[in-house]
Amino acid sequence: MNGTHDILDAAYELATHAFTPPSHADAKDKLHEQFPSLEWDRLVEAYMRGSELAEKCYEIGEKARRENIPDQASLALLAKKFPGFSDKTYNDALSRGWFLSR
């Protein structure tokens, strides 16, 4: 795994537990603790990308369920729409999307 995956994966994981503006601020602070050498602007960008994946995974899960799209195709769609995350995170996001779309 490379550094970019690490940062984006951590940002996604933190974003999945943040639901209010203060909790998003806390999540960014935790991300900064994990990656203290990362410039703040890059950290915020990574967190925004992680948050977007956490928020939009519902749409992919719903689409996969509604259109009976195979897992590999759904994962490829996530990777295309949200580049830079690890396969593990894409799998988690797809599972999360299926769960949320029930």
27-76 pLDDT, tens digit each: 999 999 999 999 999 999 999 999 999 999 999 989 888 999 999 999 99
Whole-number Å distance between alpha carbons of 68 and 88: 22
pTM of the model: 0.90
Whole-number Å distance between alpha carbons of 66 and 60: 10
Q: Where along the chain do its domains lie? A: 3-100
24-35 pLDDT, tens digit each: 999 999 999 999
Q: What pLDDT is stored for residue 71 in this prediction?
A: 92
Tokens 């029930």 locate to 102
* CB atoms inside a 10 Å sphere around CB 79: 15
The pLDDT confidence band at residue 2, using thresholds 50, 70 and 90, is low
